[in-house]
Amino acid sequence: MKKLLKPNLYYESIFYIDNNKLKEKGIEGIIIDLDNTLAAWDVKEADAKVINFINDLKQKGFKICIISNNTKARVDKFNEILGLPAIHKAGKPKLSPYIKAMKLLKTHRQNTAVIGDQLFTDVLGGNRLGLFTILVTPISEKEFIWTRMVRKLERIVLKKVIIKDK
Ligand SMILES: [Mg+2]
Q: Is the dihedral of CA 67, 73, 49, 64 positive or negative?
A: positive
Domain regions of the chain by residue span: 3-139
* Tens-place pLDDT, residues 23-55: 999 999 999 999 999 999 889 999 999 999 999
H/E element holding 120? none
* Tens-place pLDDT, residues 145-161: 777 788 888 788 777 77
Query: Which CATH number describes the domain made up of 3-139?
Result: 3.40.50.1000
CA-CA distance, 112 to 62, in Å (whole number)?
10
- The distance from CA 36 to its chain's CA centroid, rounded to whole angstroms, is 6
Q: Ligand 1 center to residue 62 CA distance, Å?
A: 21
Q: Ligand 1 center to residue 149 CA distance, Å?
A: 23
The values of phi and psi at residue 162, to 5°, are -65, -45
The strand ranges marked E within 8-159 are 9-11, 29-32, 63-67, 86-87, 112-116, 132-136
Q: Ligand 1 center to residue 36 CA distance, Å?
A: 5
Q: Ligand 1 center to residue 118 CA distance, Å?
A: 6
* Greater pLDDT, 151 or 127: 127
